Amino acid sequence: MPNVKLFKLDVLDEASIAQAIAATVQAFGGLDAVVNNAGYGAVGAFEAASPEQVKRQFDTNVFGVMNVVRAVLPHFRQQRRGHIINVASMGGRITFPLYSLYHGTKWAVEGFSEALQFELAQFGIRVKIIEPGAIKTDFYDRSMDLFKKEGLTDYDAYQALTFPNVQQAGADAPGPEVVAKAIFRAATDGSRKLRYPVGSNAPLLLLMRRLLGDTWFMGIVRSIVEKKK
């Protein structure tokens, strides 16, 4: 495909980010949008997470996003336009058990992106947040990092109860095409809209989170994820 090119980019390697941006500008004569989609889920009881797992989760999901944004901003500022599209999650505004680290990173991406759009509006740069709900991808298997700590068994019963219920959401979810369409819409709709919830459950859950108090909403979450089979 003549209009499709692949460039190596590691979000934790600043040199590779700079090289990929330079190669893209050279190949296409400019750069209109950057999509930050690198990420994975580190899952389990927080106490079982090693310091290395904590660091790796934030390095990829948060600092990787910041590395790419920092690298592309000089180009966008110079041309006085551009779109930064950060893929967060509905889990950047609501939470589920066993995902405390993952939620921590996505809440960070939400806050970073929301504050950034104030700074960059003066340069014609638009910041967009994509908020997928459950999406049927390998996020729920190959891409998942499960915590295990030798001798720590106190969370086993709760994890055995809740983990299958959370996993079921991925099995019943729409495919990644719905997210791709939302990203395209965010890059081309010409609006200053900040957030794009996407997926069969995200818009409704985020609306409920806004309208209901903590006690009611968390009660609903518990009724779903702590449901016994």
CATH number, domain containing residue 42 = 3.40.50.720
Amino acid 172: pLDDT: 73
Instruction: Tell me whether residue 16 is in a domain.
Output: no
DSSP state of 88: -
Domain span at 208: 32-225
Instruction: Tell me whether residue 7 is in a domain.
Output: no
**Number of independent structural domains in the chain:** 1
Instruction: Tell me whether residue 99 is in a domain.
Output: yes
Instruction: Tell me whether residue 19 is in a domain.
Output: no
Amino acid 175: pLDDT: 83
Instruction: Tell me whether residue 13 is in a domain.
Output: no
Cβ 132 vs Cβ 87: under 8 Å = yes
Amino acid 47: pLDDT: 97
Q: How many CA atoms lie within 13 A of 18 on its CB side?
A: 4
State the amino acid at position 133 in one-letter form.
Answer: G
**Non-local CB neighbours of 216 within 8 Å, separated by 6+ positions:** none
Cβ 9 vs Cβ 20: under 8 Å = yes
Instruction: Tell me whether residue 59 is in a domain.
Output: yes
For each of the chain's 229 residues, which pLDDT tens digit applies? 678 899 999 999 999 999 999 999 999 999 999 999 999 999 999 999 999 999 999 999 999 999 999 999 999 999 999 999 999 999 999 999 999 999 999 999 999 999 999 999 999 999 999 999 888 766 666 667 889 999 999 999 999 999 988 887 767 777 889 999 999 999 999 999 999 999 878 999 999 999 999 999 999 999 999 988 7
Instruction: Tell me whether residue 127 is in a domain.
Output: yes
Amino acid 199: pLDDT: 86
> Residue 67: phi, psi to the nearest 5?
-60, -45
Instruction: Tell me whether residue 15 is in a domain.
Output: no
Tokens linked to 210? 């806004």
Question: Strand ranges (DSSP E) for 75-162?
Answer: 82-87, 125-132, 144-146
Tokens linked to 120? 């960059």
Amino acid 206: pLDDT: 93
Q: Give the residue numbers marked as catalytic.
A: 102
Amino acid 143: pLDDT: 62
Record the pTM.
0.91
For residue 70, what is the enclosing H or E element? helix 64-79
Amino acid 117: pLDDT: 97
Amino acid 116: pLDDT: 98
